[in-house]
Amino acid sequence: MGEVSLGTLYDINKSLMKKEKKLSYPALTNKLKQVTKFFKNNKMYFMLLCNEAKDYTIFKINNHASAEKATEELKECLLNRGEILGISKVDEIQEAFEIWIKMNNDAYCYYLFPYDEAIIEV
């Protein structure tokens, strides 16, 4: 008897997220307030990563004031990619956000996380 593969957990989440509606403006604003606090956590570099889309962006946060500006830049960055479906803290990794975006009728998962350890300045 053959087995039926349901796919990976990511595949299941991706399929479910394709059906979600984009975040309302108030919900998006509320979620981005959490991101601003995240940017203020004394790290300097953050990466926005979507491996599936081969999309990598690095943000440099110089101080608390630039955290506000970085949040606005992140918002524009996400909106330029597509419809924002969800932004949530990753439970297993308290220093990361999971961001789902719908682009061309497909859903993609982005991760936003501190990236200081990967930057070498000489």
What is the per-residue pLDDT across 41-50, written as a single tens digit (0 to 9) for each? 878 999 999 9
Instruction: Give the number of other Cβ atoms within 10 Å of residue 83's Cβ.
Output: 15
CA angle 49, 53, 54 (to 5 degrees): 65
pLDDT tens for each residue of 85-112: 999 999 777 789 999 999 999 999 999 9
Distance CA 100, CA 1 (A): 37
Question: Quick check: helix, strand or coil at residue 86?
Answer: strand
**In contact, 32 and 75? CB cutoff 8 Å:** yes
Q: For the chain, what's the residue count?
A: 122
H or E, element range at 99? strand 97-103
Average pLDDT of the residues in 60-74: 89
- The predicted pLDDT at position 30 comes to 95
